[in-house]
């Protein structure tokens, strides 16, 4: 397994076609806006080699029997599913941001089990292809980005009915040795820090959508791939050299568009190719795995609760009963997310492939909590911190020979705490609730792994109302007609 530094050096070997602010990024590894997100991924490598964390971060491969990073594993038991949740929280605590590798692991698990069932029906060799790819990823200790979300165009139309057929990723040519694809994947977490991409459909498909029912893996620097880096609030602060103003100066996340312009994919990297009836299964299994992955938000929530508590200390209001109550409420909300993430993992079961899948109903309940609770936690943290978190002067003002003493004097809270410490914790809260950190906490909590309505549809489908009616009739002694 690689160290964090070895991982960073491996990224230097990629010939990525990345654009930011309308210009090509010649060396993504050295760009100040990208470096924090790269550091967060590097942390997943270093902790896997740390004896203190290796139990959470590593596992034995069911393919090779070798010790591997847990992010590159197909779950073989409910214990594996629970281990993932605990790892997510720990990494959220360590980085206070999105560490970007979960989407790839959830893609592995969805494709693995779905490919098995396609093979069972059609006699294809998709799972054999996938196992070969996964063994390569494990042996090289690679980062793989899962790409599910198409740009969708007119959401009232199916993929094959779009005016522009490239609004969903599609096959434009089938050759003897492989396929050629066009389209775009959106909201791509960590793509600039990834060695490989694994693509999946984004919705269920009809027979006429055959060219869109496609899943494959491909190197992130393949010819025809262009990456357009997404903007984040306060992102250019990372280029100013201020540690205080960034809030979380070491770690961060990123999102981007991936453009596929006549990209060739060899057959041995294709895992779904026109079997439209399996597109929905792949989508649901990926979403099911990815929704409890938001246990990472619990770890970030731990940091936010701590920051809010420190802000209360520094402001001199920690003993106020309403402050204590707000911190209790933040803790209650955070642990509720964690408990539902654990619950769907403990209640998981084996698919026909042998890989384990979480309990789908509880996974969707977990993510429904995530679409709400972090927003309330942010509101409470902002309430506790006060307006200074968004009005305070810059670090340059604090360091200024002419005016720094005014900032030092008038922005002090309790006398025992240096002004700089107060300003730092305010900026951290700003980062988590409004700035670049909000991409991996506040806003991502709403739309990551599907919109709130997507979860409600699944909850309605899996809620089993008829069974509940039968229970009520039994208790009420109402005979069946």
Name the pLDDT band for 239 (thresholds 50, 70, 90). very high
353 in Cβ contact with 363 (< 8 Å): no
Look up residue 175 and give its two tokens: 């050759």
98 catalytic? Reply is yes
pLDDT of residue 438: 85
Mean pLDDT for 211-228 is 98
What dihedral do alpha carbons 248, 251, 253, 258 form, nearest 10°?
Answer: 130
294 is known as an active-site residue: yes
Catalytic residue among 97, 102, 199, 378: 102
Do 72 and 183 fall within a single domain? yes
Residue 429 lies in a domain: yes
Catalytic-residue membership of 290: yes
Q: Is the pLDDT of residue 447 over 90?
A: no
Same domain, 263 and 319: no
Share of the chain above pLDDT 70, in %: 100
Which residue's entry shows tokens 């693995």?
112
85-104 tens-digit pLDDT? 999 999 999 999 999 999 99
Let me know if 184 is a catalytic residue: no
Name the nearest CA neighbour of 223 among 180, 190, 253, 188: 180
97 is catalytic: no
- Assign 47 to helix, strand or coil: helix
The answer to whether position 282 is within a domain reads: no
Say whether pLDDT at 278 is over 90. yes
Which of 242, 276, 310 finishes a domain?
A: 276
Q: HSE, CB side, 13 Å, CA atoms: give it for residue 428.
A: 25
DSSP E strands, 205-286: 214-219, 225-229, 256-266, 270-273
Report the distance separating Cα 305 and Cα 298, nearest Å: 10
Mean pLDDT value across residues 109-125: 98
Clarify whether residues 321 and 447 are in a common domain: yes
251 lies in the same domain as 301: no
* Separate counts of helices (H) and strands (E) for the chain: 20, 14
Tell how strand 214-219 and strand 196-199 pair up. antiparallel
- 132 and 247 together in one domain: yes
Please tell me what DSSP assigns to residue 213.
-
Are the CB atoms for 360 and 458 separated by under 8 Å? yes
Note whether 408 and 461 are same-domain residues: yes
Q: Which of 98, 199, 366, 378 is catalytic?
A: 98
Mean pLDDT (the chain) is 97
Residue-wise pLDDT for 314-330, tens only, equals: 999 999 999 999 999 99
Residue in 290, 351, 366, 436 annotated catalytic = 290
Say if 187 falls within a structural domain. Answer: yes
Q: Is the pLDDT of residue 442 over 90?
A: no
Output phi, psi for 52, to 5 deg.
Answer: -70, -30
CB contact at 8 A, 125 and 272 = no
Tens of pLDDT, residues 166-212 = 999 999 999 999 999 999 999 999 999 999 999 999 999 999 999 99
Residue 478 has pLDDT above 90, yes or no: yes
* Residue 189 among the catalytic residues: yes
Contact between 326 and 254 under an 8 Å Cβ cutoff? The reply is no
**Entry field: residues in the chain:** 481
Domain of residue 385 covers 292-473
- With CA atoms as reference, report the closest residue to 210 among 286, 159, 162, 176: 159
235 Cβ neighbours under 8 A, 6+ residues apart = 33, 436
- CATH of residue 48's domain is 2.40.110.10
Residue 444 — very low, low, confident or very high, per pLDDT cuts 50/70/90?
confident
The rounded distance, in Å, linking the Cα atoms of 155 and 284 is: 19
User: Is 199 a catalytic site residue?
Assistant: no
CB 58 within 8 A of CB 48: yes
Write down the catalytic residue from 184, 199, 296, 344: 296
Residue 110: pLDDT over 90: yes
Position 371 confidence tier, pLDDT thresholds 50, 70, 90: very high
**pLDDT at site 450:** 85
Asked if the structure places residue 19 within a domain, the reply is: yes
Helix axes 296-315, 373-385, angle to 10 degrees: 20
pLDDT beyond 90 at 84: yes
- On whether both 213 and 307 belong to a single domain, the answer is no
The average pLDDT across 34-53 equals: 98
Does 395 qualify as catalytic in the annotation?
Answer: no
């Amino acid at each position: 397994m690689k160290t964090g530094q070895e991982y960073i050096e491996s990224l230097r070997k990629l010939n990525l076609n990345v654009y930011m602010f309308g210009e090509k990024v010649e060396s993504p590894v050295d760009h100040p806006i990208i470096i924090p997100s790269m550091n967060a991924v590097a942390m997943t490598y270093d902790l896997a080699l740390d004896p203190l964390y290796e139990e959470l971060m590593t596992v034995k491969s069911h393919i090779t029997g070798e010790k591997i990073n847990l992010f590159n594993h197909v779950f073989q038991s409910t214990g594996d599913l629970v281990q993932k949740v605990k790892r997510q929280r720990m990494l959220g605590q360590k980085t206070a941001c999105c560490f970007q590798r979960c989407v790839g692991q959830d893609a592995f698990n969805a494709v693995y089990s779905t490919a098995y069932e396609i093979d069972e029906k059609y006699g294809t060799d998709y799972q054999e292809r996938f196992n070969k790819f996964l063994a390569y990823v494990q042996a090289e200790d690679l980062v793989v980005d899962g790409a599910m979300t198409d740009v969708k165009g007119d959401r009232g139309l199916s993929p094959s009915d779009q005016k522009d057929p490239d609004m969903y990723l599609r096959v434009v040519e089938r050759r003897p040795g492989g396929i050629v694809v066009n389209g775009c994947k959106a909201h791509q977490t960590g793509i600039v820090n990834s060695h490989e991409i694994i693509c999946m459909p984004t919705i269920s498909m009809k027979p006429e959508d055959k060219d869109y029912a496609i899943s494959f893996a491909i190197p992130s620097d393949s010819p025809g791939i262009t990456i357009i880096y997404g903007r984040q609030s306060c992102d250019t602060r990372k280029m100013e050299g201020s540690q205080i103003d960034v809030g979380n100066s070491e770690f961060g996340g990123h999102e981007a568009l991936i453009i596929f312009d006549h990209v060739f994919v060899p057959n041995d990297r294709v895992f779904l190719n026109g079997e439209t009836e399996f597109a929905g299964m792949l989508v649901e299994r990926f979403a099911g795995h990815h929704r409890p992955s938001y246990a990472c938000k619990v770890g970030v929530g731990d940091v936010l609760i701590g920051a809010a508590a420190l802000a209360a200390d520094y402001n001199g209001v920690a003993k106020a009963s309403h402050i204590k109550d707000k911190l209790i409420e933040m803790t209650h909300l955070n642990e509720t997310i964690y408990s539902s993430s654990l619950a769907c993992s403990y209640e998981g079961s084996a698919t026909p492939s042998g890989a384990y899948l979480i309990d789908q109903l509880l996974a969707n309940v977990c993510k429904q909590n995530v679409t709400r609770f972090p927003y309330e936690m942010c509101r409470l943290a902002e309430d506790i911190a006060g307006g200074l978190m968004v009005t305070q002067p810059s670090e340059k003002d604090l360091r200024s020979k002419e005016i720094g003493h005014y900032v030092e004097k008038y922005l002090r809270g309790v006398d025992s705490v240096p002004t700089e410490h107060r300003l730092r914790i305010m900026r951290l809260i700003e980062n988590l609730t409004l700035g670049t950190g909000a991409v991996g906490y506040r806003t991502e909590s709403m739309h990551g792994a599907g919109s709130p309505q997507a979860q409600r549809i699944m909850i309605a489908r899996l809620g089993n109302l008829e069974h509940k009616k039968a229970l009520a009739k039994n208790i009420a002694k109402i005979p069946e007609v």
